[in-house]
Structure 1
Amino acid sequence: MEEEQPMHTDDRRTVSGCFLFADHGLTEAAEAILDRCPIRSYRKGELIYSRDCFERAVGVLLSGEAEVLKGRGVVLNTLSAGDSFGVAGLFTENDRYVSDIRAVRPCRVLLLSAPALEQLFAADNAAALGYIRFLSGRICFLNQKLDAFTSSSAEGRIVVWLLENMVDSRVVIPRGYSDLSRTLGIGRASLYRCLDGLEAQGALRRQEREIEILRPELLQSRIG
């Protein structure tokens, strides 16, 4: 891991697309605050955040690619330039982070600490609203996920997992369907039966360990 400062012109363009600034872009006040935030570089395969070693900061990926891991290395999401992580570690006393973040390719990450975000919110009300909208969206989605996973519906669990792991309308099954069935706590027969049903309805298309999501709105309707 190496540290650098300040942001380049391309970095500003990337950051302006993250959830804090997507609706209004970077203000001069925001740029001044961001220029004081560290930028760190990570090698391929290096852990950016782990359950036990993380910073109370929102990370914005400036370049490269990273993956979000849970449990025994299950890939929950893939992050690219402009994507962010770390919100779950902010403004909390919890000493463990919720997942691991690992560099798939060399990455550069801008880190906005809790104090930096407090300054940003005071100087840029629109950024504060962007943060609130992001958290509200996560709360709604997690409530839907909780409803699905506490129900007896195998389909509900599958649909939530597909929506959470969809990247550019595609979902990769990294360790195969047997491992996925164990992750979701359902039998392999139930998993295949539900996927067959969703494919028959035109919601998705399967090809070996990759699933193409054709109608995400149909999947969404299955979890309320």
Structure 2
Amino acid sequence: MENIEDLLEISVFRGLPEENLRRFSGSVSLGVKHYSAGEFVAMQDSRCTGLYLLCSGRVRSYMTGSDGKQIIVEELDAPDVLAPAFVFATDNRFPVSIVTLAECRIRVVNREEMARFMHQEPVVMMNFLRLISDRSIFLSRKVNAFALQDLKGRLSVWLYENGEIRNQQQLADRLGVARPSLVRVLTELAKDGAVEFKQRKVVVTDREILRRYF
């Protein structure tokens, strides 16, 4: 009998009777792929022909510009769905590369089979629509942060939401800037009283000061 325990945790199947999910998993091809840390799940501009279900592990998605510069879009922990907004797109290419940060187990559902299942199960359809709507909001905020705010504004938003920085180089990559530029702005924020340097971390000391910059 098909083991569906990992599928039960995926948001797109939330609220679906276990019997219905078991019937679905037994009637379609649910390819299971195992990845070691540092392997590519998908490359930017490659075709997205199925729904990628992250059952275990952690991944990072990033964009690479024509100049080779990389910008981290997000990091996801299982259970989650990878790039759901693009599987049914007319030009269904991955806009990002996805690389594993730990050992991962990923199931892939053919998009035509997933579409049929969503028509059969309205709760799955609603979950999927909610998922891509939430991702659209996330990406809109990401675009706003990069296109309409300066580095101090983008950094202030990140600090306001996360509270501390443990790895400056990783955050610089995420924000698409050089580390010296990041350190310069952090120093300014420290002088303003918004953050302070504690050993190898940068921690927020006054969130209201951060709010002034976004």
- TM (norm. structure 1) is 0.68
**Which one of the candidate residues 59, 64, 67 is aligned to 1:66?**
59
Give, as a single letter, the amino acid of the residue that structure 1 aligns with 2:129: I
Superposition pairs of residues 1-224 of structure 1, within 5 angstroms = 7-8=2-3, 12-22=4-14, 24-35=15-26, 36=28, 37-71=30-64, 72=69, 75-94=72-91, 96-161=93-158, 172-173=166-167, 175=169, 182-183=176-177, 187-188=181-182, 189-194=184-189, 197=192, 199-200=194-195, 208=200
Question: Matched residues in 2 for 1:222 and 1:177: separation?
Answer: 18
Question: Matched residues in 2 for 1:44 and 1:32: separation?
Answer: 32
1:155 is displaced (CA, Å) by: 3.5
Write the deviation string for residues 5-57 of structure 1: whole angstroms up to 9, x where unpaired.
x842xxx23322222123x1444333322332211222333211111435322
Write the deviation string for residues 75-105 of structure 1: whole angstroms up to 9, x where unpaired.
5443333122031431123364122222333
Larger-Rg structure: 2
Equivalent position SS for 1:68: strand
What stretches of structure 2 of length at least 5 have no aligned partner? none
Question: Matched residues in 2 for 1:14 and 1:214: separation?
Answer: 39
Question: Matched residues in 1 for 2:125 and 2:205: separation?
Answer: 34
Q: Is the contact made by 2:45 and 2:96 (CA closer than 8 Å) also made in structure 1?
A: no
Give, as a single letter, the amino acid of the residue that structure 2 aligns with 1:125: P
Equivalent position SS for 2:11: coil
Equivalent position SS for 1:38: strand
Pair 1:65–1:185, CA change in 2 (3 A): closer
Question: Matched residues in 2 for 1:17 and 1:217: separation?
Answer: 37
Identical aligned pairs, as a percentage?
18
What stretches of structure 1 of length at least 5 have no aligned partner? 1-5
CA RMSD of aligned residues (A): 4.0
Runs of 4+ aligned structure 1 residues displaced above 6 Å come to 212-222
Q: Is the contact made by 1:27 and 1:124 (CA closer than 8 Å) also made in structure 2?
A: no
1:122 is displaced (CA, Å) by: 1.2
Q: Is the contact made by 2:62 and 2:73 (CA closer than 8 Å) also made in structure 1?
A: yes
What is the number of equivalent residue pairs in this alignment?
207
1:118 is displaced (CA, Å) by: 0.8
